[in-house]
């Protein structure tokens, strides 16, 4: 579908693109299988069926591809060229278009959208509450009044205990070998998580992420400041990684 793919450059430096070649190379084989998309799509279904939909942080299309089967149109936005390259290498349906852009800047997409969503904490890739509120405002600006935003955001009840443990090694789900997380939290509430995947017989793959870890009430406050009314919150049951928020663009 590259004919309808935009490739939009923005002002952020490339060092600021968190998802590089290493994580993109293992995302579909070693990371995505830990969180099957079916439950996510079921929760999105009432909002995206037959709708014009925007995904923020589309990644390799784990959710966008099944959503495209029930939506009228999906625009997937991401600032990582390697993640988008993984998605473009798949059989991307004609009702999906991809935009390389940074959600911390005004979004270069033509609204209005009937619904938006962002899964696996993509919107937590921000430095502070102001940047999160700005990102949410950029989404609000391209939504129709009354449109929904469905949002998965890092759950403090799951991640704060991991900070206390500092290093956690787990069997890699559905795969041989182990995944080791090294987790720190700084005074500005930025969680830094290093991931090292040791697959049987293969060289280790290492990458890092920085996300803003804030309480549920603060996420709700950012949504509210950006012009959303929070309608429902599904709180994660530890060890589930993300809370789920359903919010509606103010009319």
Whether the Cβ atoms of residue 131 and residue 69 lie closer than 8 Å to each other? no
Q: In whole angstroms, give the CA distance from residue 142 to residue 135.
A: 12
| CB of 80 or CB of 156, closer to ligand SAM | 80
Task: Quote the distance between the C-alpha of residue 187 and its chain's center.
Answer: 24
CB of 201 to ligand SAM, least distance (A): 26
The residue number whose beta carbon is nearest to ligand SAM equals 59
Whether the Cβ atoms of residue 118 and residue 197 lie closer than 8 Å to each other? no
Residue 94: partners with Cβ closer than 8 Å, 6 or more residues away: 1, 4
CB of 251 to ligand SAM, least distance (A): 27
Q: In whole angstroms, give the CA distance from residue 59 to residue 63.
A: 9
Q: What are phi and psi of 191, to 5 degrees?
A: -90, 125
| CB of 24 or CB of 247, closer to ligand SAM | 24
Q: In whole angstroms, give the CA distance from residue 56 to residue 76.
A: 6
CB of 131 to ligand SAM, least distance (A): 9
CB of 162 to ligand SAM, least distance (A): 16
CB of 19 to ligand SAM, least distance (A): 3
Burial class (CB in 10 A: 0-12, 13-18, 19+), 165: exposed
| CB of 10 or CB of 229, closer to ligand SAM | 10
CB of 250 to ligand SAM, least distance (A): 24
| CB of 35 or CB of 229, closer to ligand SAM | 35
Q: In whole angstroms, give the CA distance from residue 53 to residue 12.
A: 25
| CB of 79 or CB of 156, closer to ligand SAM | 79
Residues that bind ligand SAM (CB under 6 A): 18-19, 32, 57-59, 62-63, 78-80, 83, 102-104, 119-120, 122, 125
| CB of 160 or CB of 210, closer to ligand SAM | 210
Measured over the CA atoms of residue 100, residue 101, residue 103 and residue 108, the dihedral's sign is negative
């Amino acid at each position: 579908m590259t004919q309808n793919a935009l490739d939009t450059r923005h002002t952020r430096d490339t060092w600021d693109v968190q998802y590089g070649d290493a994580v993109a190379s293992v995302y579909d084989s070693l990371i995505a299988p830990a969180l099957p998309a079916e439950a996510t799509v079921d929760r999105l279904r009432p909002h995206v069926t037959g709708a014009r939909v925007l995904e923020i942080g589309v990644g390799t299309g784990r959710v966008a591809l099944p959503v495209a089967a029930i939506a009228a149109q999906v625009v997937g936005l991401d600032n990582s060229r390697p993640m988008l390259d993984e998605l473009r290498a798949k059989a991307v349906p004609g009702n999906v278009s991809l935009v390389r852009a940074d959600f911390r800047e005004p979004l270069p997409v033509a609204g209005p959208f009937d619904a938006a969503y962002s899964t696996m904490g993509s919107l937590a890739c921000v430095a502070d509450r102001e940047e999160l509120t700005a990102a949410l405002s950029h989404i609000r600006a391209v939504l129709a009044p009354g449109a929904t935003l469905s949002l998965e955001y890092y759950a403090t009840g799951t991640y704060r205990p991991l900070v206390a443990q500092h290093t956690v090694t787990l069997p890699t789900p559905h795969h041989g070998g182990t995944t080791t997380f090294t987790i720190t939290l700084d005074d500005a509430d930025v969680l830094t998580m290093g991931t090292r995947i040791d697959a049987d017989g293969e060289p280790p793959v290492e990458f890092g992420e920085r996300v803003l870890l804030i309480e549920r009430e603060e996420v709700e406050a950012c949504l509210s400041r950006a012009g959303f009314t929070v309608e429902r919150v599904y709180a994660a049951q530890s060890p589930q990684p993300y809370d789920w928020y359903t919010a509606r663009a103010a009319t």
